[in-house]
């Protein structure tokens, strides 16, 4: 009998919590407990996927030569590799992967496995880290990399605190800045509970913060940002580092990066693994932050990349989940010893929906033995975390940054800026017609058909799935505007609840579901009768949207269906005349502007 109660965990915590449970029976019990308790759908799905994973693990090891790599996911390949012991087999797998899909995570996995197998064969031979300088190891090169000003590597450094870049726009804190502060507060409170007490050796009281607690440090950069100091403290910051200068009114890549990094290193220079110089700042005593968070906005994402480059570290972008825990790593590049596993503590796990929209990747930023990759960095998708309830009683330290700004940083000048109209708001409409990857055969036509259908209603608009926004579809100019992020429905887009929701060519991923499942009536159109969208639809029309949507459109025009069907032979007959601007009514048409 397990004493693990899934009810004790939020959904976001449950994944990491059950990740070390590998007993099928125990997992089944946990599943039952969830069913008896809150019976939360995502929790059930999570536990089930864990069970599924272990059921798979029991399968016979596969013969490497017969593996069809192309048809397997990275995770599956990873599992199977654990049973392959022959270097030659692994090398042939690597070649096949490189010749075929050439997925980076897969080539890494196979390379790691090769190193790990080789390592255990070689045993007593060279398993130590080769810490000779690159000049000695690679005499054939004249080694520019090491001298390059951009590799500011550090070894033996100290790292503390979680830094959060708080972006402002038009004088206001962007919401995602507060969302990140709330999340950072939560993460560091848990962090201090997990790691703080044992370090200090004595239990501290619950409410008093301990002297060695690691903090949430907010960074504000701009021309008029100190007015946000109280806000960011109320949202969870312990320290706010502020830089104000008239030249910083608009975001500029170079000065913002230089300032952030100067704050992060307290003015020190890191070169060739050593620290040089730096200011004595009484509030801190470390070389670089342990973690950094940035908003995944256009400017925030750019800044995250540049800061992490300058600080010689790594990051995961567009994350929707974050947690801190230990991780056992066998990659010899990270452990320094082939064939041995090493546990890394306090690792920020950065979970992001994959490019495909079908998988989550968890990214880790891990030190190499002689080159430490800190801070561990992430950019966060706006809306991923809740806005925190501001606590106006909270107190925090304000630190003003006043290191000199170099004129050369201001090579790019902003000469003008215009605010665009408010983004598309899909939430107030009576009807939403949404399309997904099912429009792939003729993407432009697919959008046109959705617009035609939406035109039949007084108050309707068109939305798309993440797959459309991130996919590589080629849309003609006149419909392209309907395919952008501002019309995305789902977890990382808008959440709508219209009276009628038409889901055409949408398979029904859970992230899409959360964006629309409160709709009153849901009609799905899909060629695949097993598509998950059926599980949360009222009607499921099993057919090709290129045929079904025009039928619905003309039936709505006629007011009834029979007549429309009688005159319809299918796709050809239902194609509206090309080049005819839609004379539709309502909001949908208004927003279309000068299309075609």
Partner 1 sequence: MHMVVLTKGVPDFREGQVSFDEDGHLERGKTPTVMNPNDRFALEAALQTRVRHGGRVSVMSMGPPGYKEVLREAMETVYADDLHLVSDREMAAADTWATAITLSAGIETLGEPDVVFAGFKTADGETGHTGPQTNWCLDMSLVTHVISLDIDEEAGTLRAKRLVEGDIEEIETVETELPAFVVADPEFEPSYRTAGERLTLKDLREETRARAENYEEHLTVRDHADINVDPDYIGLDGSPTIVSSVDPIPKAPAEREATMVDPDDAGAMQDVLTAMQSAVGDGDGGDAAAAGGD
User: Which has the closest alpha carbon to 399: 566, 565, 244, 535?
Assistant: 244
From 160, 401, 445, 551, residue interacting with partner 1 (rule: CB under 8 A): 551
Distance CA 595, CA 477 (A): 8
Specify the residue, 94 or 239, whose C-beta has the smaller distance to partner 1. 94
Distance CA 254, CA 445 (A): 43
From 116, 192, 299, 384, residue interacting with partner 1 (rule: CB under 8 A): 299
# residues contacting partner 1 (CB under 8 A)? 172
Mark 416-455 with x for binding to partner 1 (rule: CB under 8 A) and - for no binding: xxxxxxxx---xxxxx-----xxxxx--------------
Window 323 to 342, contacts with partner 1 (CB under 8 A): 327, 329, 331, 333-334
Strand partners, 222: 244
Do 433 and 463 contact (CB within 8 A), yes or no?
Answer: yes
From 7, 278, 336, 543, residue interacting with partner 1 (rule: CB under 8 A): 543
Quote the Cα angle for 92-98-101, to 5°.
120
By the rule CB under 8 A, 151 interacts with partner 1: yes
Window 86 to 105, contacts with partner 1 (CB under 8 A): 98-99, 101-105
Specify the residue, 188 or 564, whose C-beta has the smaller distance to partner 1. 564
Tell me which residue has tokens 């019309």.
487
User: Which has the closest alpha carbon to 315: 353, 275, 268, 348?
Assistant: 348
Window 49 to 88, contacts with partner 1 (CB under 8 A): 49, 52, 56, 68, 70-76
From 35, 210, 227, 253, residue interacting with partner 1 (rule: CB under 8 A): 253
Q: What are the structure tokens assigned to 329, written together?
A: 């790593």
**Strands 500-504 and 431-435, bridge-based pairing:** parallel
User: Of 58-66, 204-212, 368-376, 384-392, which segment contacts partner 1 by CB under 8 A?
Assistant: 368-376
Distance CA 287, CA 172 (A): 31
By the rule CB under 8 A, 411 interacts with partner 1: yes
Buried-state track 320-349, b at ≥16 Cβ within 10 A, e below 16: bbbbbbebebbbbebbbebbeebeeebbbb
Rounded to a whole number of angstroms, the minimum distance from the CB of residue 393 to partner 1 is 27
DSSP class of residue 407 equals G
Rounded to a whole number of angstroms, the minimum distance from the CB of residue 541 to partner 1 is 4
Specify the residue, 110 or 239, whose C-beta has the smaller distance to partner 1. 110
From 275, 316, 322, 587, residue interacting with partner 1 (rule: CB under 8 A): 316
DSSP 1-37: -----GGGS-HHHHHHHHTT---HHHHHHHHHHHHHT
User: Of 57-65, 273-281, 390-398, 412-420, which segment contacts partner 1 by CB under 8 A?
Assistant: 412-420
Rounded to a whole number of angstroms, the minimum distance from the CB of residue 420 to partner 1 is 4
From 144, 404, 569, 593, residue interacting with partner 1 (rule: CB under 8 A): 144
User: Which has the closest alpha carbon to 428: 496, 485, 494?
Assistant: 496
Specify the residue, 498 or 584, whose C-beta has the smaller distance to partner 1. 498
Helix residue ranges, H only, 58-154? 74-81, 87-99, 104-122, 134-137, 144-147
From 6, 236, 463, 471, residue interacting with partner 1 (rule: CB under 8 A): 471
Distance CA 556, CA 544 (A): 18
Distance CA 89, CA 383 (A): 45
Class of residue 393 by CB neighbours under 10 A (exposed 0-12, middle 13-18, buried 19+): exposed
Specify the residue, 25 or 144, whose C-beta has the smaller distance to partner 1. 144
Reported for 491-497, long-range contacts at CB under 8 A and 24+ positions apart, including other chains, are: 491/320, 491/353, 491/515, 492/320, 492/353, 492/381, 492/383, 492/384, 492/466, 493/463, 493/466, 493/469, 494/425, 494/426, 494/427, 494/463, 495/427, 496/426, 496/427, 496/429, 496/432, 496/463, 497/427
Window 516 to 535, contacts with partner 1 (CB under 8 A): 517-518, 520-524, 529, 532, 534-535
User: Of 234-242, 266-274, 559-567, 572-580, which segment contacts partner 1 by CB under 8 A?
Assistant: 559-567
Rounded to a whole number of angstroms, the minimum distance from the CB of residue 421 to partner 1 is 8
By the rule CB under 8 A, 590 interacts with partner 1: no
By the rule CB under 8 A, 155 interacts with partner 1: no
Rounded to a whole number of angstroms, the minimum distance from the CB of residue 508 to partner 1 is 6
Window 474 to 503, contacts with partner 1 (CB under 8 A): 474, 494-500, 502
Q: What are the structure tokens assigned to 471, written together?
A: 């996919």
Rounded to a whole number of angstroms, the minimum distance from the CB of residue 367 to partner 1 is 8
By the rule CB under 8 A, 572 interacts with partner 1: no
DSSP 3-state of 403 = coil
Window 262 to 291, contacts with partner 1 (CB under 8 A): none
Rounded to a whole number of angstroms, the minimum distance from the CB of residue 364 to partner 1 is 5
Window 222 to 251, contacts with partner 1 (CB under 8 A): 250-251
Q: What are the structure tokens assigned to 341, written together?
A: 């596993």
Q: What are the structure tokens assigned to 135, written together?
A: 């000049």
By the rule CB under 8 A, 141 interacts with partner 1: yes
Window 348 to 367, contacts with partner 1 (CB under 8 A): 349, 353-366
Mark 370-409 with x for binding to partner 1 (rule: CB under 8 A) and - for no binding: -x-x--------x---------------------------
The full length of the chain comes to 596
Window 23 to 42, contacts with partner 1 (CB under 8 A): 41-42
């Amino acid at each position: 009998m397990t004493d693990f109660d899934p009810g004790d965990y939020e959904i976001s915590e449950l994944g990491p919590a059950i990740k070390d449970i590998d007993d099928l029976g125990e997992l089944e019990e946990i599943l039952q407990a969830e069913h008896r308790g809150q019976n939360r759908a995502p929790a059930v799905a999570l536990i089930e996927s864990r069970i599924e994973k272990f059921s798979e693990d029991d399968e016979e090891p596969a013969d490497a030569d017969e593996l069809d790599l192309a048809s397997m996911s990275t995770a599956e390949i990873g599992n199977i590799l654990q049973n392959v012991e022959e270097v030659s087999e692994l090398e042939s797998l690597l070649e096949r992967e490189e010749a075929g899909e050439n997925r980076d995570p897969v080539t890494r996995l196979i390379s790691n496995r090769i190193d790990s197998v080789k390592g255990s064969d070689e045993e007593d031979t060279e398993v130590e880290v080769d810490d000779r300088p690159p000049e000695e190891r690679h005499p054939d090169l004249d080694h520019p990399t090491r001298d390059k000003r951009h590799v500011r590597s550090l070894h033996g450094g100290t790292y503390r605190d979680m830094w959060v870049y708080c972006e402002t726009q038009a004088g206001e804190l962007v919401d995602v800045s507060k969302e990140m502060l709330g999340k950072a507060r939560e993460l560091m409170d848990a962090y201090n509970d997990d790691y703080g007490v044992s370090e200090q050796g004595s239990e501290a009281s619950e409410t008093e913060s301990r002297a060695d607690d690691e903090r949430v440090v907010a960074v504000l950069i701009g021309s008029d940002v100190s007015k946000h100091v109280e806000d960011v403290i109320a949202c969870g910051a312990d320290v706010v580092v502020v830089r104000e200068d008239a030249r910083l009114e608009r975001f500029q890549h170079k000065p913002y990066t230089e300032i952030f990094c100067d704050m992060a290193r307290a003015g020190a220079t890191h070169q060739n693994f050593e620290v040089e110089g730096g200011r004595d700042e009484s509030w801190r005593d470390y070389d670089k932050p342990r973690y950094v968070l940035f908003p995944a906005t256009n400017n925030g994402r750019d800044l995250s990349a540049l800061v992490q480059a300058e600080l010689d570290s790594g990051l995961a972008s567009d994350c929707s989940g974050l947690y801190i825990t230990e991780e056992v790593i066998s990659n010899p590049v990270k452990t320094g010893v082939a064939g041995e596993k090493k546990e890394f503590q306090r690792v920020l796990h950065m979970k992001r929906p994959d490019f495909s929209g079908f998988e989550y990747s968890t990214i880790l930023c891990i030190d190499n033995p002689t080159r430490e990759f800190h801070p561990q960095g992430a950019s966060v998708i706006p809306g991923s975390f809740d806005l925190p309830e501001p606590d106006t009683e909270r107190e925090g330290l304000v630190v003003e940054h006043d290191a000199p700004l170099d004129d050369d940083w201001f090579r790019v000048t902003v000469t003008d800026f215009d605010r665009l109209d408010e983004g598309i708001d899909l939430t107030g409409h009576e009807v939403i017609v949404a399309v997904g990857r099912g429009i792939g055969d003729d993407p432009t036509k697919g959008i046109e058909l959705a617009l035609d259908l939406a035109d039949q209603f007084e108050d309707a608009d068109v939305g798309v799935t993440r797959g459309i926004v991130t996919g590589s579809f080629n849309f003609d100019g006149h419909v392209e505007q309907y395919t952008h992020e501002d019309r995305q429905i789902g977890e990382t887009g808008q959440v709508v609840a219209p009276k009628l929701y038409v889901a055409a060519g949408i398979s029904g991923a859970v992230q899409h579901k959360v964006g629309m499942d409160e709709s009153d009536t849901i009609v799905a159109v899909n060629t695949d009768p097993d598509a998950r969208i059926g599980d949360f639809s009222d009607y499921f029309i099993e057919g090709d949207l290129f045929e079904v949507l025009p039928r619905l459109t003309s039936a709505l025009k006629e007011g009834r269906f029979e007549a429309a069907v009688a005159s319809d032979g299918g796709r050809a007959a239902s194609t509206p005349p090309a080049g005819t601007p839609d004379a539709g009514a309502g909001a949908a048409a208004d927003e279309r502007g000068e299309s075609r």
